[in-house]
Amino acid sequence: MRAIVATRLGGPEVLELQEVPPPAAEPGRVLIRVHRAGVNFADLSSTLGRYAQAPPPPFIPGLEVSGHDVATGRPVFALVPSGGYAELVAADFAWSADGLDLDAAAGYALTGLTAFYALRHVGRLQPGETVLVTAAAGGVGSSAIQVARALGAGRVVAVASTPEKRARAVELGADVAVGYEDPLPGPIDVMVDTVGGDVFTRALESMAPFGRMVCIGASSGEAQRIPGVGDLRVRGVGVLPFSMGAFRARHPEQFLKTSAEGIELIRSGALRPPVGQVLPLAEAAEAHRRLGSRATTGKLLLAVG
Protein backbone atom coordinates (compact mmCIF):
# COMPACT_ATOMS: atom_id res chain seq x y z
CA MET A 1 0.00 0.00 0.00
CA ARG A 2 1.04 3.66 -0.32
CA ALA A 3 1.92 5.40 2.90
CA ILE A 4 3.80 8.42 4.17
CA VAL A 5 6.77 7.33 6.25
CA ALA A 6 8.67 9.49 8.75
CA THR A 7 12.06 8.11 7.78
CA ARG A 8 13.96 9.76 10.67
CA LEU A 9 13.41 12.51 13.22
CA GLY A 10 13.14 16.00 11.79
CA GLY A 11 10.86 18.49 10.07
CA PRO A 12 8.56 17.96 7.07
CA GLU A 13 11.54 16.91 4.92
CA VAL A 14 11.68 13.51 6.69
CA LEU A 15 8.29 12.51 5.23
CA GLU A 16 8.47 10.21 2.18
CA LEU A 17 5.77 8.53 0.12
CA GLN A 18 6.63 4.82 0.09
CA GLU A 19 5.19 1.44 -0.86
CA VAL A 20 4.94 -0.54 2.43
CA PRO A 21 3.28 -3.80 3.58
CA PRO A 22 -0.35 -3.28 4.71
CA PRO A 23 -1.31 -3.83 8.37
CA ALA A 24 -2.74 -7.27 9.20
CA ALA A 25 -6.50 -7.66 9.74
CA GLU A 26 -6.22 -8.88 13.36
CA PRO A 27 -9.23 -10.23 15.27
CA GLY A 28 -10.89 -7.55 17.37
CA ARG A 29 -9.44 -4.70 15.33
CA VAL A 30 -11.04 -2.71 12.53
CA LEU A 31 -9.09 -2.56 9.29
CA ILE A 32 -9.95 0.73 7.57
CA ARG A 33 -9.48 1.72 3.95
CA VAL A 34 -8.61 5.36 4.50
CA HIS A 35 -10.52 8.09 2.68
CA ARG A 36 -9.13 11.15 4.48
CA ALA A 37 -6.45 11.45 7.16
CA GLY A 38 -6.49 14.35 9.62
CA VAL A 39 -3.24 16.29 9.95
CA ASN A 40 -2.58 17.36 13.54
CA PHE A 41 -0.02 19.46 15.32
CA ALA A 42 0.86 16.27 17.21
CA ASP A 43 1.99 14.73 13.88
CA LEU A 44 4.51 17.56 13.53
CA SER A 45 5.63 16.99 17.11
CA SER A 46 5.94 13.24 16.52
CA THR A 47 8.32 13.57 13.55
CA LEU A 48 10.40 15.95 15.68
CA GLY A 49 10.58 13.35 18.46
CA ARG A 50 8.53 15.57 20.80
CA TYR A 51 5.37 13.51 21.08
CA ALA A 52 5.63 10.98 23.90
CA GLN A 53 3.14 8.51 22.39
CA ALA A 54 4.78 8.36 18.93
CA PRO A 55 6.76 5.29 17.83
CA PRO A 56 10.42 5.69 16.89
CA PRO A 57 11.20 6.19 13.17
CA PRO A 58 10.62 4.79 10.68
CA PHE A 59 6.89 5.12 11.34
CA ILE A 60 3.72 6.22 9.57
CA PRO A 61 2.25 9.37 11.19
CA GLY A 62 -1.48 10.10 11.37
CA LEU A 63 -3.79 9.91 14.40
CA GLU A 64 -7.31 10.25 12.97
CA VAL A 65 -8.96 8.98 9.80
CA SER A 66 -12.24 8.50 7.99
CA GLY A 67 -12.83 5.68 5.54
CA HIS A 68 -14.50 2.29 5.14
CA ASP A 69 -14.32 -0.79 7.33
CA VAL A 70 -12.72 -3.33 4.98
CA ALA A 71 -14.71 -6.21 6.51
CA THR A 72 -18.19 -4.67 6.27
CA GLY A 73 -17.84 -1.80 3.83
CA ARG A 74 -19.53 0.57 6.30
CA PRO A 75 -18.26 4.17 6.53
CA VAL A 76 -16.35 4.86 9.75
CA PHE A 77 -14.11 7.33 11.52
CA ALA A 78 -11.46 6.44 14.08
CA LEU A 79 -8.55 7.39 16.26
CA VAL A 80 -5.37 5.43 15.63
CA PRO A 81 -2.13 5.43 17.66
CA SER A 82 -0.19 6.12 14.42
CA GLY A 83 -0.40 4.99 10.79
CA GLY A 84 -3.23 7.21 9.53
CA TYR A 85 -1.26 8.61 6.55
CA ALA A 86 -1.75 5.37 4.61
CA GLU A 87 -4.20 3.54 2.37
CA LEU A 88 -4.98 1.03 5.14
CA VAL A 89 -4.82 1.36 8.91
CA ALA A 90 -5.94 -0.84 11.82
CA ALA A 91 -7.90 0.72 14.72
CA ASP A 92 -9.00 -0.68 18.09
CA PHE A 93 -12.40 0.88 17.57
CA ALA A 94 -14.24 2.85 14.90
CA TRP A 95 -17.40 4.92 15.10
CA SER A 96 -19.99 4.63 12.35
CA ALA A 97 -19.92 7.53 9.88
CA ASP A 98 -23.30 6.64 8.42
CA GLY A 99 -25.00 9.82 7.30
CA LEU A 100 -21.91 11.95 7.97
CA ASP A 101 -19.74 13.83 5.50
CA LEU A 102 -16.79 11.45 5.10
CA ASP A 103 -14.37 14.31 4.43
CA ALA A 104 -15.17 16.22 7.60
CA ALA A 105 -15.32 12.93 9.52
CA ALA A 106 -11.52 12.69 9.41
CA GLY A 107 -11.42 15.59 11.86
CA TYR A 108 -14.02 14.32 14.30
CA ALA A 109 -12.17 11.75 16.36
CA LEU A 110 -9.15 13.69 17.61
CA THR A 111 -9.82 17.34 16.81
CA GLY A 112 -13.55 17.40 17.57
CA LEU A 113 -13.47 15.16 20.63
CA THR A 114 -10.48 16.98 22.15
CA ALA A 115 -12.46 20.24 22.00
CA PHE A 116 -15.44 18.44 23.53
CA TYR A 117 -13.41 16.92 26.39
CA ALA A 118 -11.64 20.21 27.07
CA LEU A 119 -14.91 22.07 27.61
CA ARG A 120 -17.30 19.42 28.88
CA HIS A 121 -15.26 17.06 31.03
CA VAL A 122 -12.14 19.03 31.99
CA GLY A 123 -13.41 22.64 31.92
CA ARG A 124 -16.91 21.64 33.14
CA LEU A 125 -18.45 24.49 31.19
CA GLN A 126 -21.83 25.63 32.57
CA PRO A 127 -24.52 27.35 30.49
CA GLY A 128 -24.07 31.11 30.44
CA GLU A 129 -20.35 31.05 31.22
CA THR A 130 -17.67 32.91 29.23
CA VAL A 131 -15.15 30.85 27.24
CA LEU A 132 -11.82 32.02 25.82
CA VAL A 133 -10.22 29.98 23.01
CA THR A 134 -6.66 30.53 21.73
CA ALA A 135 -5.66 29.75 18.11
CA ALA A 136 -9.40 29.95 17.68
CA ALA A 137 -9.45 29.59 13.89
CA GLY A 138 -7.28 26.43 14.02
CA GLY A 139 -8.33 22.79 14.08
CA VAL A 140 -9.05 22.30 17.77
CA GLY A 141 -9.84 26.00 18.23
CA SER A 142 -12.63 26.15 15.66
CA SER A 143 -14.16 22.98 17.12
CA ALA A 144 -13.92 24.50 20.60
CA ILE A 145 -15.99 27.49 19.44
CA GLN A 146 -18.66 25.12 18.16
CA VAL A 147 -18.65 23.02 21.33
CA ALA A 148 -18.83 26.12 23.53
CA ARG A 149 -21.91 27.29 21.62
CA ALA A 150 -23.50 23.84 21.71
CA LEU A 151 -23.00 23.57 25.50
CA GLY A 152 -24.66 26.95 26.03
CA ALA A 153 -21.71 29.28 26.67
CA GLY A 154 -22.91 32.83 27.31
CA ARG A 155 -19.99 34.46 25.55
CA VAL A 156 -17.16 33.08 23.41
CA VAL A 157 -13.95 35.10 23.10
CA ALA A 158 -11.55 34.06 20.33
CA VAL A 159 -7.83 34.83 20.17
CA ALA A 160 -6.10 34.50 16.80
CA SER A 161 -3.08 36.02 15.08
CA THR A 162 -4.49 37.72 11.96
CA PRO A 163 -7.60 39.74 11.05
CA GLU A 164 -8.61 36.95 8.60
CA LYS A 165 -8.39 34.31 11.32
CA ARG A 166 -10.32 36.53 13.74
CA ALA A 167 -13.05 37.06 11.14
CA ARG A 168 -13.19 33.31 10.62
CA ALA A 169 -13.56 32.72 14.37
CA VAL A 170 -16.51 35.11 14.48
CA GLU A 171 -18.10 33.35 11.48
CA LEU A 172 -17.74 30.09 13.40
CA GLY A 173 -19.65 31.50 16.36
CA ALA A 174 -17.31 33.57 18.54
CA ASP A 175 -18.85 36.79 19.93
CA VAL A 176 -15.59 38.70 19.83
CA ALA A 177 -12.10 38.02 18.47
CA VAL A 178 -8.88 39.70 19.58
CA GLY A 179 -5.18 39.45 18.76
CA TYR A 180 -2.52 38.02 21.08
CA GLU A 181 -1.29 41.48 22.10
CA ASP A 182 -4.77 42.93 22.77
CA PRO A 183 -6.31 43.15 26.24
CA LEU A 184 -8.19 39.91 26.93
CA PRO A 185 -11.84 40.71 27.64
CA GLY A 186 -12.52 39.04 30.99
CA PRO A 187 -13.73 37.74 33.28
CA ILE A 188 -13.21 34.32 31.70
CA ASP A 189 -14.79 31.21 33.22
CA VAL A 190 -13.16 28.58 30.99
CA MET A 191 -10.06 29.02 28.87
CA VAL A 192 -9.14 26.41 26.26
CA ASP A 193 -5.47 27.01 25.56
CA THR A 194 -3.59 25.26 22.76
CA VAL A 195 -0.86 27.91 22.48
CA GLY A 196 0.86 28.46 25.86
CA GLY A 197 3.55 31.10 26.40
CA ASP A 198 2.58 34.75 26.93
CA VAL A 199 -1.12 34.51 26.11
CA PHE A 200 -1.59 31.97 28.89
CA THR A 201 0.38 34.06 31.38
CA ARG A 202 -1.70 37.15 30.57
CA ALA A 203 -4.96 35.20 30.77
CA LEU A 204 -4.17 34.28 34.39
CA GLU A 205 -5.15 37.87 35.28
CA SER A 206 -8.40 37.73 33.30
CA MET A 207 -9.83 34.60 34.88
CA ALA A 208 -13.06 34.84 36.87
CA PRO A 209 -13.15 33.48 40.42
CA PHE A 210 -13.26 29.67 40.17
CA GLY A 211 -12.30 29.85 36.48
CA ARG A 212 -10.77 26.81 34.78
CA MET A 213 -7.75 27.05 32.47
CA VAL A 214 -7.63 23.93 30.32
CA CYS A 215 -4.13 23.44 28.85
CA ILE A 216 -4.19 21.07 25.91
CA GLY A 217 -1.24 22.17 23.80
CA ALA A 218 1.66 24.57 23.42
CA SER A 219 1.78 25.37 19.71
CA SER A 220 3.90 28.46 20.47
CA GLY A 221 6.68 26.13 21.59
CA GLU A 222 6.45 27.48 25.16
CA ALA A 223 4.58 25.42 27.72
CA GLN A 224 2.13 27.14 30.11
CA ARG A 225 3.83 28.44 33.25
CA ILE A 226 2.18 29.41 36.50
CA PRO A 227 3.96 31.87 38.79
CA GLY A 228 2.83 30.07 41.98
CA VAL A 229 -0.44 28.69 43.21
CA GLY A 230 -1.02 31.06 46.18
CA ASP A 231 -2.95 33.68 44.24
CA LEU A 232 -4.79 31.04 42.20
CA ARG A 233 -5.84 29.27 45.39
CA VAL A 234 -7.37 32.43 46.83
CA ARG A 235 -9.21 33.07 43.56
CA GLY A 236 -10.14 29.40 43.15
CA VAL A 237 -8.69 29.32 39.61
CA GLY A 238 -7.74 25.87 38.35
CA VAL A 239 -5.01 25.03 35.82
CA LEU A 240 -5.97 21.75 34.19
CA PRO A 241 -3.60 20.06 31.73
CA PHE A 242 -5.26 17.37 29.62
CA SER A 243 -4.11 14.86 27.00
CA MET A 244 -6.85 12.90 25.27
CA GLY A 245 -4.27 10.35 24.04
CA ALA A 246 -3.01 9.70 27.57
CA PHE A 247 -6.56 9.50 28.97
CA ARG A 248 -7.68 7.12 26.26
CA ALA A 249 -4.61 4.89 26.63
CA ARG A 250 -5.15 4.59 30.40
CA HIS A 251 -8.96 4.38 30.50
CA PRO A 252 -10.13 3.07 27.09
CA GLU A 253 -13.60 1.99 28.25
CA GLN A 254 -14.29 5.15 30.20
CA PHE A 255 -13.10 7.11 27.17
CA LEU A 256 -15.67 5.43 24.91
CA LYS A 257 -18.42 6.00 27.48
CA THR A 258 -17.63 9.65 28.19
CA SER A 259 -17.09 10.53 24.54
CA ALA A 260 -20.65 9.41 23.66
CA GLU A 261 -22.09 12.88 24.28
CA GLY A 262 -19.42 14.38 22.01
CA ILE A 263 -20.31 11.87 19.30
CA GLU A 264 -23.94 12.97 19.70
CA LEU A 265 -22.90 16.58 19.09
CA ILE A 266 -21.14 15.38 15.93
CA ARG A 267 -24.16 13.40 14.73
CA SER A 268 -26.48 16.33 15.38
CA GLY A 269 -24.22 18.62 13.31
CA ALA A 270 -23.55 20.97 16.26
CA LEU A 271 -19.88 19.90 16.23
CA ARG A 272 -18.61 19.80 12.68
CA PRO A 273 -14.91 20.66 12.49
CA PRO A 274 -14.74 22.89 9.40
CA VAL A 275 -12.45 21.56 6.67
CA GLY A 276 -9.91 24.23 5.79
CA GLN A 277 -7.70 22.54 3.22
CA VAL A 278 -7.36 19.10 1.60
CA LEU A 279 -4.03 18.04 0.07
CA PRO A 280 -3.14 14.78 -1.71
CA LEU A 281 -1.42 12.13 0.44
CA ALA A 282 1.80 12.64 -1.51
CA GLU A 283 1.90 16.26 -0.26
CA ALA A 284 2.02 15.38 3.44
CA ALA A 285 5.30 17.27 3.85
CA GLU A 286 3.68 20.41 2.42
CA ALA A 287 0.73 19.89 4.78
CA HIS A 288 3.14 19.79 7.73
CA ARG A 289 4.86 22.95 6.48
CA ARG A 290 1.55 24.80 6.28
CA LEU A 291 0.34 23.70 9.72
CA GLY A 292 3.69 24.52 11.32
CA SER A 293 3.84 27.98 9.74
CA ARG A 294 0.35 29.08 10.91
CA ALA A 295 -0.88 29.06 7.30
CA THR A 296 -4.05 27.03 7.89
CA THR A 297 -7.48 27.54 9.36
CA GLY A 298 -9.92 24.80 10.34
CA LYS A 299 -9.10 21.18 9.76
CA LEU A 300 -6.26 20.18 7.42
CA LEU A 301 -6.76 16.83 5.68
CA LEU A 302 -4.87 14.48 3.37
CA ALA A 303 -6.86 12.88 0.55
CA VAL A 304 -5.88 9.22 0.55
CA GLY A 305 -8.52 7.25 -1.32
Ligand X SMILES: NC(=O)c1ccc[n+]([C@@H]2O[C@H](COP(=O)([O-])OP(=O)(O)OC[C@H]3O[C@@H](n4cnc5c(N)ncnc54)[C@H](OP(=O)(O)O)[C@@H]3O)[C@@H](O)[C@H]2O)c1
At 109, the amino acid letter reads A
Task: Point out which span in 27-35, 73-81, 226-234, 289-297 binds ligand X (CB under 6 A).
Answer: 289-297
Residues 305/67, Cβ–Cβ less than 8 Å: yes
Residue 161 contacts ligand X per CB under 6 A: yes
Sort 250 into a burial class: Cβ within 10 Å, 0-12 / 13-18 / 19+: exposed
Rounded to whole angstroms, the Cα distance separating 208 from 199 reads 16
Paired residues of 76 in beta bridges:
67, 96
Task: Point out which span in 65-73, 139-147, 148-156, 227-235 binds ligand X (CB under 6 A).
Answer: 139-147
| Shortest separation between residue 213's beta carbon and ligand X, angstroms | 13
Residue 259 contacts ligand X per CB under 6 A: no
Chosen residue from 14, 90, 119, 160 binding ligand X by CB under 6 A: 160
Judged by CB under 6 A, the number of residues near ligand X is 31
| Shortest separation between residue 1's beta carbon and ligand X, angstroms | 25
Residues 168-207 that bind ligand X (CB under 6 A): 194-195
Chosen residue from 5, 40, 80, 104 binding ligand X by CB under 6 A: 40
Count of other CB atoms within 10 angstroms of residue 235: 14
Task: Point out which span in 10-18, 88-96, 238-246, 249-257 binds ligand X (CB under 6 A).
Answer: 238-246
Residue 110 contacts ligand X per CB under 6 A: yes
User: Read out DSSP for 72-86?
Assistant: T--EEEEE-SS--SB
Rounded to whole angstroms, the Cα distance separating 221 from 27 reads 40
